Amino acid sequence: MQFHLETQQLDELVQNTIQSNLGYAQNFGVDIRYKLLAERALPVRVDSQRFTQVLSNLLSNAVKFSRENGRVDVTISANINYARIEVQDYGIGISEAFKSSIFQKFTQEDAKAARKYAGTGLGLSLSKTMIEKMGGEIGFHSEEGQGSVFFIILPLESSAASTPSLTEL
């Protein structure tokens, strides 16, 4: 898998990804809300296709694990060097026992979840790898029965100047 890193406006990438996932969310009766907390442009150096793939994975997971007629909140915040994208759901959350293995390949909380929520258990593992190849970090906070917040932290363009334009995975 190759990465072609280019400077992109983060808010545009996020809004376009949300837009392309609205139909999926509507099928589950889930509303996606977006909030930009930064008052300036947020240029990031990413492979837009890979970033969209990661954010779409986080959105689809948040939708799948939300309650019917629930909502998913997507928020962008920033400091001088980094932007943070959060995808928050108010669904079933993640058990303490599963938290340590959530980014491992082929992992799902239990076999019942795999059947009920459909997935291979590869999405978060691939997402972690892709975000790290783009110079960022991915993580989460969750409370069982209360929902989860998955976040991506990316260096802003002025901080990413030393990132090579082509990276192999």
Residue-averaged pLDDT of the chain: 86
The DSSP line for 6-68 is EEEEHHHHHHHHHHHHHHHHHHTT-EEEEEE--SS--EEEE-HHHHHHHHHHHHHHHHHTSPT
Q: Which long-range contacts (CB under 8 A, 24 or more apart) does 89-92 make?
A: 89/61, 89/62, 89/63, 89/65, 89/147, 89/148, 90/66, 90/146, 90/147, 91/62, 91/65, 91/66, 91/67, 91/147, 91/148, 92/65, 92/144, 92/145, 92/147
Q: Is the Cβ–Cβ distance between 86 and 72 less than 8 Å?
A: no
Output 164 or 49, whichever has higher pLDDT. Answer: 49
Nearest Cα neighbor of 63 from 107, 8, 17, 96 is: 17
- pLDDT tens readout for residues 105-132: 655 554 344 334 555 456 898 999 999 9
pTM, entire model: 0.84
User: Residues with Cβ < 8 Å from 115, sequence gap 6 or more?
Assistant: none
Of 163 and 26, more confident: 26
Q: Could you report the per-residue pLDDT of 9-68, keeping only the tens digit for each? A: 999 999 999 999 999 999 999 999 999 999 899 999 999 999 999 999 999 999 999 998
Residue 41 identity: A
Instruction: Provide CB contacts within 8 A for 38, sequence distance 6+.
Output: 11, 76, 77, 78, 83
| CB-based contact 76:42 (threshold 8 Å) | yes
